[in-house]
Structure 1
Amino acid sequence: MARPRKFEEQDVLRDVRDQFWAAGYAATSLDDLTRASGLGKGSLYGAFGDKHKLFMRTLDDYVTDSCAGLRQNLEGSERAVDGLRDFVLAGASSLRQGCYLANSTTELAATDPEVAARARQAYEDIVELVAAAVKRAQREGDLPVGVESTAFARMLQTAQQGLVYIGRSGLPAEQLARVAQDLADKLLRP
């Protein structure tokens, strides 16, 4: 008979994700994962599978949570353009840590088809959420009606992810925040 689990799955996944996030997939060893999770090798792999399956689970959870948060921020903003502005400005907030999805994509998408497919789907999900906010901003009169919403959403996403990437370089936070503000001001005016 199997022993009952004596750990909170979401806590373990968060701790393991943080280890992958800090060191990257390739540089994270099984010993790192057991240390981060507090579980033995057998318990860790018995509950979550091998390193790759565990990583994909953390990536999926991150994407799910991030998209839910983005949806809430975009739909909950009083005016859609304010939510879009917050989306762009958020790119300047991650600094050296970067975005888990962006870091994972950069490290693995060229060699791991499963990561590449998940990243493509995640970015498309983000574009869909942002495009819906663009349409709302157009209805509210804050963005030109002639702008194609999906293309504009991709542009905003590219700007936001560019800020994330540059933030990883060590650009001072104040300078990155000014760049983000300039981008938001230029891209999101009627």
Structure 2
Amino acid sequence: MARPKEFDRDEAVKRAVAVFWEKGYEATSTDELLRAMGIGRQSMYDTFGDKHSLFLEALQRYNADSQAAMVERLRAGTSPLSALRDVLLAIANEPPARRARGCMGVNAITECAQADPEVASLSKASGLMCEATLESVVREAKQKGEVATHVDERAAGRFLLNTLQGLRVSAKAGVSPEALRDIAQFAIESLRAR
């Protein structure tokens, strides 16, 4: 008779996210994952399959959590355009260690997506959801007169997603918070109705 699992799967995935986010896929060893998750090797293989499958699940969790956090921040804004500004500025306002870690989703794209179709697929799906969310907020800002009427909402959503990803890469590369704020502010001003 099989023994019942003696660990919380969600908590184990959360801990795996932290390790992959900090070190990346290739630099993370199975032993580091096992220590962080507090489980044995056989439990990992029985539950997740292998390191790659665990990485995909961790990436999917990270992307879903990041999307939810962005939506929450967008809803908390005093106006659609100010909410977009807050999302972009949040990167510059993070503590240095958090900025240096970058974004696990962007890190996965730059490390793995070209050679790993499953990572590419997860990343594309997450990017499309984020883009659609940003497009929707731009549309709302446009309806409220905050964004110029000539702005193409779909192109603006793509622009803002690219700006977010670029800010994450720049932050990880050590670009100063002041420079990140300038980039965020410029992006928002480029959309603003005059």
Scaled by the length of structure 2, the TM-score of the pair is 0.90
Separation in 2, partners of 1:179, 1:148? 23
**Within-5 A mapping of 1:160-171:** 160-171=164-175
Question: Does the alignment pair 1:18 with 2:18?
Answer: yes
Give deviations 1:17-62, integer Å, cap 9, x for gaps. 1111111101111111111111110011211111111000001111
Partner in structure 2 of residue 147 of structure 1:
151
Return the letter of the residue paired with 1:169.
Answer: A
CA contact (8 A) 1:89 1:160 kept: no
What residue identity is the alignment partner of 1:154? R
Structure 2 gap ranges (5+): none
**TM-aligned CA distance change 1:31 to 1:88, over 3 Å:** same
Structure 2 residue identity aligned to 1:109? A
Q: Provide TM-score, normalisation by structure 1.
A: 0.92
One-letter amino acid matched to 1:34: L
Aligned length: 189
* 1:7-86 mapped onto 2 (5 Å cutoff): 7-86=7-86
State the 1:101 CA deviation.
Answer: 0.1
- Report SS of the residue matched to 2:60: helix
Deviation, structure 1 residue 128: 0.1
Q: Distance in 2 between matches of 1:170 and 1:3?
A: 48
Say if 2:126 is the partner of 1:110: no
After TM superposition, the structure 1 stretch with the greater mean CA deviation from structure 2, 98-107 or 163-172, is 163-172
**Percent identity, aligned pairs only?**
34
- With over 3 angstroms needed to count, the CA separation of the structure-2 counterparts of 1:178 and 1:70, relative to structure 1, is closer
Question: Could you report, residue by residue, the CA deviation over 1:113-162 in whole angstroms, capped at 9, with x for unpaired residues?
Answer: 11111111111110000000000001111001221111011111111211
Q: Give RMSD over aligned pairs.
A: 1.6
Question: What is the CA–CA distance in structure 2 between the aligned matches of 1:116 and 1:188, rounded to whole Å?
Answer: 30
Give the match for residue 189 of structure 1.
Answer: 192
Partner Cα distance (1:164, 1:116) in 2: 18
Runs of 4+ in 1 over 4 A off after TM superposition: none
| C-alpha separation in 2, matches of 1:106 and 1:86 | 25
